[in-house]
């Protein structure tokens, strides 16, 4: 087992690789090592900034996912989670409205800072909400309900 360590100002290796599924824990950590440099840069440049935009503790519900875990959770085969360049974040107490507001805060913060990424406020049928953020060469904001996505018109 790899010992935990900070990969960015706010997030540790365990937070960035926690699978919440014990069967994949060791495999996920081991597979994260080859992409550690990319993942560390992503957290330092993008996820730390998202947390600062929100002004408080932010949790990662899904960071790096090895291909087997990504498949098990229904992730896309080309998911940036498998390259260390995507994370799903949330704050306790978010509902759908708060999630959309938080995504817009992150978008506005990134725009001022010149940070580019896809920011997606997401909601599942069971009511679970989170914000998916992934590296992208342009800044875009989306909403997604049950994996149906629409780009938000931002002026």
Tokens matching residue 110: 């990134």
33 Cβ neighbours under 8 A, 6+ residues apart: 2
Listed residue (126, 130, 127, 121) closest to 150, CA to CA: 121
pLDDT tens digits along 62-113: 999 989 889 888 888 999 999 999 999 999 999 999 999 999 999 999 999 9
- Is residue 4 in a domain? no
Written as six digits, the tokens of 58 are 């932010």
Q: What is the rounded CA–CA span in Å between residue 106 and residue 27?
A: 32
CA 74 to chain centre: 16
d(CA 36, CA 152): 32
Read off the pLDDT of residues 30-60 as tens digits, 9 standing for 90 and up.
888 899 999 999 999 999 999 999 999 999 9
Q: pLDDT tens across 116-128, in order?
A: 999 999 999 999 9
In a domain, 5, yes or no: no
Q: What is the CATH number of the domain that holds 143?
A: 3.30.1380.10
Q: What is the pTM of this model?
A: 0.93
Domain count, the chain: 1
């Amino acid at each position: 087992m790899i010992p935990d360590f900070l990969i960015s100002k706010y997030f540790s290796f365990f937070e960035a690789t926690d699978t919440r599924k014990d069967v994949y824990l060791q495999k996920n950590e081991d597979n994260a090592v080859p992409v550690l440099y990319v993942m560390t840069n992503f957290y330092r440049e993008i996820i730390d900034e998202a947390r600062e935009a929100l002004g408080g503790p932010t949790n990662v519900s899904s960071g790096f996912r090895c291909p087997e875990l990504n498949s098990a959770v229904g992730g896309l085969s080309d998911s940036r989670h498998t390259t260390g360049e995507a994370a799903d974040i949330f704050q306790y107490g978010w509902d759908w409205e708060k999630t959309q507001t938080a995504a817009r805060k992150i978008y506005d913060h990134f725009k001022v800072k010149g940070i580019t990424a896809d920011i997606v406020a997401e909601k599942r049928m069971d009511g679970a909400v989170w914000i998916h953020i992934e590296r992208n060469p342009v800044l875009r904001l989306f909403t997604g309900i049950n994996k149906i996505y629409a780009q938000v018109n931002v002026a």
